[in-house]
Amino acid sequence: MAEHVLPKRVYYTVFGILMLCTYLTVQIAFIDLGAWNTVAALAIAVFKATIVVLFFMHVKYSTRLTWAVVIGSVFWLGILLALTFSDYLTRRWLTFG
């Protein structure tokens, strides 16, 4: 794969979006959305992490093998969280009467 030198404006744009998202996430935290506060905070965090991975970490321009490893990390993290939560967060479901 040929090296890919990104124009600097890509980095400045990503930086701007990250700063804007940081401002948004703080502002949203002060609005009462109930359970949606956590959802909104995590959604913004996932979005920020994604653009850091794609542009700052150059994954968008990486080989398929790198893509596979990056997606693999999310996949294994998903297994870790799903199996942990399926135990700990469902224990109370079994306490009858």
Partner 1 sequence: MSHETAAAEYHPRALAHQFEDLGQQREAATLGMWVFLVTEVLFFGVLFATYSVYRSWYPGAFTAASHELLIWPGTINTAVLITSSLTMALAVHAAQTGERRLLMVFLVATMVLGVAFLGIKGFEYYTSFHEHHVPGPDFQFEAEYAQQAQIFFSLYFLMTGLHALHMIIGLGIMAVMLWLSWRGTINAEYYNPIEISGLYWHFVDIVWIFLFPLLYLIGRHG
Please report the sign of the dihedral spanned by the C-alpha atoms of residue 37, residue 43, residue 48, residue 53: positive
Closer residue to partner 1, CB minimum distance, 11 or 97? 11
What minimum distance in Å lies between the beta carbon of 96 and partner 1? 19
* 39 contacts partner 1 (rule: CB under 8 A): no
Under the binding rule (CB under 8 A), the answer on residue 89 touching partner 1 is yes
Q: Per rule CB under 8 A, is residue 36 in the interface with partner 1?
A: no
Going from the C-alpha of 75 to that of each of 3, 25, 45, 52, 72, the distances in angstroms are 28, 26, 17, 18, 5
Q: What secondary structure letter does DSSP report for 67? A: H
Q: Identify the residue whose tokens are 């398929």.
A: 64
- The Cα 2–Cα 91 span in angstroms is 52
Positions that interact with partner 1 (CB under 8 A): 1-3, 5-6, 8, 11-12, 14-15, 18-19, 22, 25-26, 29-33, 37-38, 41-42, 44-45, 48-49, 52-53, 55-58, 62-63, 65-66, 69-70, 72-74, 76-77, 80-81, 84-85, 88-89
